[in-house]
Structure 1
Amino acid sequence: MTDALFRPFETALDANAALSQLQTATAGADDGELFLERSCTEAIVFDDGRVKNASYNGSEGFGLRAVRGEVAGYAHSSEISEAAIARCVETARLAVGEGGGVLADAPAGTNKKLYTDENPLDGIAFAAKVDTLAEIDAFARALDPRIVQVSATLSASFQEVEIMRPDGAITRDARPMARLNISVIVEDQGRRESGGVGGGGRYLMDGLIDPNHWQPMVREALRVALVNLDAVPAPAGIMDVVLGNGWPGILLHEAVGHGLEGDFNRKGASAFAGLMGQQIAAKGVTVLDDGTIPDRRGSITVDDEGTPSAKNVLIDDGILVGYMQDRQNARLVGVEPTGNGRRQSHAHIPMPRMTNTYMLGGDTAPGDLVADLKDGIYAVGFGGGQVDITNGKFVFSCTEAYRVRNGIVGEAVKGATLIGDGATAMKQIRGIGNDMALDPGMGSCGKQGQWVPVGVGQPSLMIGGLTVGGSAT
């Protein structure tokens, strides 16, 4: 073992002393770790022709955890020192009590490298980033005189983690992230509408500031805004819906994905609890959570407990075959962890979380799905949504949607919301497109106050009998 535990931090922390304190905290426990983190983030917001905000934030710290049964003792500090760790030992041990547990084996190692370990905040001068945002603004305004406002945000982060186990094993991971968001507001005859696009992943900024990348994004944002400029009020009622591919997978993420996380199912709080091996979706529906896709926003080489990420099948041909597990919940139900133990930062305890969650494609052309829609909605883009885990009920707002009658795509509609429950919606899938796509890399998932980056994806889908909220027809 090296003398300096956290080498990226250049912190004078003796590894043997830190290990001794960790072993004291976890004596008699089932599990535990010392999670050390350093992170930095940068964001530049260019709005209405000028830099509106530029921010940089750096932080570091550790979290010390001891687990026994269903109880976890957790303490954290932004001061990485032997004294700070010693202060946290007593708090962590509250979960252990008199002990008696058998310490779980450490996660298996991995030689995978899913993304670069370079810092995306480096390499491009601040002035060059601002110049790119100014070029985006000028390019957008030159496209259409109806554009009255342009907003563009370039952001990046770099997280370095080290996870020490009580047996002395250390797992390290360096996690880059870069992202570009663009939105425009158009005005015509006193009516204003907006359109936005965004995306990124675990890579450097070079590709994001290339005009060949951001010019199509600007055009797409403008297209969505102009579509909404001509949109009419959405109908209301129960009708069939065709969802577009890619980002509309956020509905799958919320309505089904959260319900397949291990903690909710162990506690019986999920609408899918106790249904392992049963048909919970239509035939042909196969859903995976895959943290191993290179460079994707939701990918992780290892999770925040040190378990290598995996490609986990959750639903196979409509049958529930797996849940997403962290180490604690997996141990309590007698299965293996799936590499889904994630946390927002060192100040947060890990829990089962999604990575990249998506549905596999079918064999139907997307156009045929729409052609089969007699009277309904074709929903291409989604904004915010929410779900009740206990019953799977969801509500999603559409950012781009169209009315369909007798298989013909008609006018764009505004204000449409999709309402239903995940368990029913999955069984009412009537057609699966052959155009599976992942989202462009813009998802962030909230759970119990913690936010982590995620990915979603799906093919075009026809779902029968969803409630569409809008204005009365």
Structure 2
Amino acid sequence: MSDTPFRPFETALDRDLALKRLGEATAGADDGELFLERRRSEALVFDDGRVKSASYDASEGFGLRAVRGEVAGYAHSSDISEGALSRAVETARLAVGDGGGTMAAPPARTNTHLYTDDDPIAGASFPVKLETLREIDAFARDLDPRVVQVSATIAASHQEVVILRPDGTEVTDIRPMTRLNVGVIVEQDGRRESGGAGGGGRLGLDGLLDPADWQDKTKEALRIALVNLRAEAAPAGVMDVVLGPGWPGILLHEAIGHGLEGDFNRKGSSAFAGLMGQRIAAPGVTVLDDGTIPDRRGSLTVDDEGTPSRRNTLIEDGILVGFMQDRQNARLMGVEPTGNGRRESYAHAPMPRMTNTYMLGGESDPADILADLKDGIYAVGFGGGQVDITNGKFVFSCTEAYRVENGKVGAPVKGATLIGDGATALQKIRALGNDMALDPGMGNCGKAGQWVPVGVGQPTVMIGGLTVGGSAA
């Protein structure tokens, strides 16, 4: 493991030469940059009483981009050297052609630091991490004799980036990430059910290795598993649904958030294209994408184009007021970049992506919202889902849900799926709780083959008339 700072221009690549090659690649272009990255990651998985895997990965490389109009040329290499960069220039220039563009102004600078620079992988020794996993396994099994399997994961990564622009502007960011997850399987009378809990953020490992923290996560995983153990078959039909606070915001993220990314709207493929300034949600609904929350999983001091993160309002009191933008789509749409240009790694070109996307709370007591639910489902946890960006139609599976009749929360239900479309669901929001919460820090988002960490959140929300699909218990 290397503890030396990532200084690519002090090693195999001279800064002046890199700037010269970048200038050659972007001559006549509208935009472009050289993105350099070093990343280290570690993951330890303890499953069923033994170490299942222990992995460590280290990588570094660069991505060179030249943009003209709607076209971008991109080349990348794991070899940070003059030779590799010179070869990359030829590929990037294919997007520029004869040139004629005007280079966009560089992003504004920022002195903000939203998270620590410390490497979380080095925050605890390997034996300490391994012993923590063993303790989690033993603790879970001691909690309940019905526990038959325990899986626990400790993961950490440290990403260092340098972004060089043709005018010589240079931006750096050091991004830590940690996560701890616990999964539990219980068995009773031949029936097995599972539950999971976890979280983390752009933090050190100290908090996650604190017994008070992992014990709470383990208890939560067991609670969900035991709830599912007594779950009944979920009903099916069109009914009102109450979503719990925090992690259920993943439905908002998928069904609505992607449709508010700039590229889909510029191309007219989003269900929300052409609706700027119009009402797309019920009164009182305000949705933000905020990359400036300290230490959160989806936060970024600067995005992967060097633009400082912002707190962007997307929907205000039900009215569509903004999209999430990278530099290219913002320029083509005649608006400002919003700090949402993100990429999975140096091997990927940036695109508009969410950071921490959440709905603000309202004034209703969550208990009153549930009391008003006459016949429906109370969904507290979600697993996988699918969304069609062009029409916003979604299907989400519930990992924890309850039947509600006449305002009374009844038995848990198994196999419930929520089916609808984002645009209609926004219009059918009937109540917003005063308990807005962010998720515990476990979200990942996929788009066009790229995965990035994200955050979600919302208050307790009542949505009228969603289709609920059920299954046998």
Moved over 3 A (4+): none
User: How does 1:126-137 map onto structure 2 within 5 Å?
Assistant: 126-137=126-137
SS in 2 for 1:99: coil
**What is the match of residue 96 of structure 1?**
96
**What is the match of residue 178 of structure 1?**
178
User: How does 1:344-359 map onto structure 2 within 5 Å?
Assistant: 344-359=344-359
Cα distance change of structure 1 residues 279 and 91 upon mapping to structure 2, 3 Å threshold: same
**Do residues 368 (structure 1) and 368 (structure 2) align?**
yes
Q: Deviations over 1:91-111 (max 9, x none)?
A: 000000000000000001000
**What is the match of residue 63 of structure 1?**
63
Question: Take 1:180 and 1:10, find their aligned partners in 2: how far apart are those partners?
Answer: 36
Residue 6 of structure 1, CA deviation: 5.4
Work out whether residues 6 and 160 of structure 2, in 8 Å CA contact, stay in contact via their aligned partners in 1: no
Q: Deviations over 1:399-458 (max 9, x none)?
A: 000000000001100000000000000000000000000000000000000000000000
Question: Take 1:225 and 1:447, find their aligned partners in 2: how far apart are those partners?
Answer: 31
Work out whether residues 6 and 13 of structure 1, in 8 Å CA contact, stay in contact via their aligned partners in 2: no
Residue 471 of structure 1, CA deviation: 3.6
Work out whether residues 288 and 357 of structure 1, in 8 Å CA contact, stay in contact via their aligned partners in 2: yes
Work out whether residues 44 and 154 of structure 2, in 8 Å CA contact, stay in contact via their aligned partners in 1: yes
Work out whether residues 236 and 472 of structure 1, in 8 Å CA contact, stay in contact via their aligned partners in 2: no
Question: Take 2:29 and 2:333, find their aligned partners in 1: how far apart are those partners?
Answer: 17
Question: Take 2:368 and 2:74, find their aligned partners in 1: how far apart are those partners?
Answer: 53
**What is the match of residue 153 of structure 1?**
153
Name the aligned partner's letter for residue 278 of structure 1.
Answer: Q
Residue 12 of structure 1, CA deviation: 2.4
SS in 2 for 1:94: helix
**What is the match of residue 426 of structure 2?**
426
**Do residues 198 (structure 1) and 198 (structure 2) align?**
yes
SS in 2 for 1:115: coil
Residue 11 of structure 1, CA deviation: 2.5
Question: Take 1:307 and 1:134, find their aligned partners in 2: how far apart are those partners?
Answer: 42
Question: Take 1:138 and 1:70, find their aligned partners in 2: how far apart are those partners?
Answer: 56
Name the aligned partner's letter for residue 458 of structure 1.
Answer: Q
SS in 1 for 2:102: coil
Name the aligned partner's letter for residue 312 of structure 2.
Answer: N
SS in 2 for 1:112: coil
Name the aligned partner's letter for residue 139 of structure 1.
Answer: F
SS in 2 for 1:101: coil
Question: Take 1:234 and 1:198, find their aligned partners in 2: how far apart are those partners?
Answer: 26
Residue 386 of structure 1, CA deviation: 1.4
Residue 7 of structure 1, CA deviation: 1.3
Work out whether residues 184 and 195 of structure 2, in 8 Å CA contact, stay in contact via their aligned partners in 1: yes
**Do residues 458 (structure 1) and 462 (structure 2) align?**
no
**Do residues 142 (structure 1) and 142 (structure 2) align?**
yes
**What is the match of residue 254 of structure 1?**
254
**What is the match of residue 34 of structure 1?**
34
Question: Take 2:341 and 2:32, find their aligned partners in 1: how far apart are those partners?
Answer: 13
Work out whether residues 235 and 472 of structure 1, in 8 Å CA contact, stay in contact via their aligned partners in 2: no
Question: Take 1:252 and 1:8, find their aligned partners in 2: how far apart are those partners?
Answer: 40
Work out whether residues 11 and 80 of structure 1, in 8 Å CA contact, stay in contact via their aligned partners in 2: no
Work out whether residues 9 and 38 of structure 1, in 8 Å CA contact, stay in contact via their aligned partners in 2: no
Name the aligned partner's letter for residue 102 of structure 2.
Answer: V
Q: Deviations over 1:101-126 (max 9, x none)?
A: 00000001000000000100003110
Question: Take 1:256 and 1:144, find their aligned partners in 2: how far apart are those partners?
Answer: 40
**Do residues 106 (structure 1) and 106 (structure 2) align?**
yes
Q: Percent identical across equivalent pairs? A: 77
Name the aligned partner's letter for residue 242 of structure 2.
Answer: V
Unaligned runs of 5+ in 2: none
User: How does 1:387-466 map onto structure 2 within 5 Å?
Assistant: 387-466=387-466
**How many correspondences in the alignment?**
469
Question: Take 1:377 and 1:306, find their aligned partners in 2: how far apart are those partners?
Answer: 44
**Do residues 336 (structure 1) and 351 (structure 2) align?**
no
Work out whether residues 12 and 82 of structure 2, in 8 Å CA contact, stay in contact via their aligned partners in 1: no
**What is the match of residue 283 of structure 1?**
283
**What is the match of residue 377 of structure 2?**
377
Question: Take 1:378 and 1:87, find their aligned partners in 2: how far apart are those partners?
Answer: 57
SS in 2 for 1:455: strand
**What is the match of residue 224 of structure 1?**
224
Query: What TM-score do you get using the length of structure 2 for normalisation?
Result: 0.98
**What is the match of residue 241 of structure 1?**
241
Q: Deviations over 1:103-156 (max 9, x none)?
A: 000001000000000100003110100000000000110000000000000000
Query: What TM-score do you get using the length of structure 1 for normalisation?
Result: 0.98
Unaligned runs of 5+ in 1: none
Name the aligned partner's letter for residue 32 of structure 2.
Answer: G
Name the aligned partner's letter for residue 332 of structure 1.
Answer: L
Work out whether residues 62 and 80 of structure 1, in 8 Å CA contact, stay in contact via their aligned partners in 2: yes
Question: Take 2:245 and 2:62, find their aligned partners in 1: how far apart are those partners?
Answer: 40
Question: Take 2:125 and 2:227, find their aligned partners in 1: how far apart are those partners?
Answer: 37
Residue 472 of structure 1, CA deviation: 8.4
Name the aligned partner's letter for residue 436 of structure 1.
Answer: M
Question: Take 2:138 and 2:198, find their aligned partners in 1: how far apart are those partners?
Answer: 18
Question: Take 1:18 and 1:255, find their aligned partners in 2: how far apart are those partners?
Answer: 42
**What is the match of residue 270 of structure 2?**
270
Work out whether residues 414 and 472 of structure 2, in 8 Å CA contact, stay in contact via their aligned partners in 1: no
